[in-house]
Amino acid sequence: MKLRNSIGIVTALTVVSIAMPAMAADLVLYDALDFSAKVVEAFQAKTGLTVDVVEPGSTGETLGKIAAEGDNPQFDVLWLDGSAVMERMATDGVLQPIPAALFDNAKYTDLGKSLIPASRAYLPTGASATAIEVNTTKVPAEQTPESWKDLITFAGSVAAKDPNLSGPAYQWLAGFFQTNGIDAGKTLLTSMLTNKALSGLSSGGKVNSAVLTGDASVGINQDSAIFAKIAAGEPVIAVYASEGAVALPESLGIAANTQHLDAATKFITFATSAEGQAAMQDGDDTDFFFIPIIDGVAAKPGRKTDIAFIHLDDAVASAHEEEWKSWYRDNFVP
């Protein structure tokens, strides 16, 4: 989903072994999140277990690697932004249900509890949403958009991510159809996204760059990416569309064929502990600005948390994933 500058940077389809001994690691983690290396470091120091971190790139590239592995996926634990894609992989038999005890043991806030899927296909570790990113030096205050429909005014100057590459972008697209209706949503997007050079970007970082350079006046972006730029002093704000903000959980899943279930459950237990959540905030890139969903854990300064979330219908979103991604690619990607 984004470029990385933290420990664990890897090129496509390569493996990073963090403090890995000569013998095989206790756990293989596939991820597309900025903070995973920090969490793995803290987990290894606490437990003595070893983890291979595999970062193929974006969420889309990670999903592509898993698809290419077919009936023999090589990961034990998967950590991505989004709920619909995790639901789909559970339906396809790639993921197994999360053990009930892991949900019971996590000290979830009310938001965290609301993000637990009925299917138990994944376990949420944090949350964010999609917002409208506005360059305040380019857009006068009185012209600040308040809804998705307002972005028609900025047609030709709206930056957005390709949901075929970005997990958060697909969560947004599915939520956009849920809140606007599919046919009306397609019509609205066709009116908003009229510049393919801006509407088919591969990452939140590229949306940030387009908005900050002025190539785009506004962007459709994961709000944690926006708050990371706000914290860095950049002239942008996050606006939540009046139609509603669809929750984007950071989701942990367990491979159906894992031979390391004990290590996987220990890792998930750590990720939902206060110590694990602190490691998830030990940085300044996009994903570090998530909303904690464990009791007693505060968000990073400046991170908005009082959002009236709408929850995505994961079953509908996962059932239409290929169809809606293809439609977006055909219409908005160069």
Per-residue pLDDT, 5: 34
Q: Is the pLDDT of residue 81 over 90?
A: yes
With pLDDT > 90 as the criterion, what percentage of the chain qualifies? 91
CA–CA separation, 33 and 55 (whole Å): 8
Domain spans, the chain: 15-127+249-303, 128-246+316-332
Of 6-10, 26-30, 97-101, 182-186, the least confident: 6-10
Span 253-304, pLDDT tens digits: 999 999 999 999 999 999 999 999 999 999 999 999 999 999 999 999 999 9
DSSP per-residue string spanning 20-44: --SSPPSEEEEE--TTHHHHHHHHH
The DSSP bridge partners found for residue 210 are none
Span 14-51, pLDDT tens digits: 344 444 434 689 999 999 999 999 999 999 999 999 99
Q: Which fold has domain 128-246+316-332?
A: D-Maltodextrin-Binding Protein; domain 2 (3.40.190)
Q: Which two tokens stand for residue 94?
A: 């790639």
Q: Is the pLDDT of residue 12 over 70?
A: no
Per-residue pLDDT, 20: 40
What CATH number does the domain located at 15-127+249-303 have? 3.40.190.10
Q: What is the CA radius of gyration of the chain?
A: 19
Q: Is the pLDDT of residue 243 over 50?
A: yes
State whether the Cα torsion 265-268-273-276 is positive or negative: positive
Q: What is the mean pLDDT of residues 90-100?
A: 96
Q: What is the mean pLDDT of residues 119-125?
A: 96
The average confidence (pLDDT) of the chain is: 92
- Domains 15-127+249-303 and 128-246+316-332 alike in fold: yes
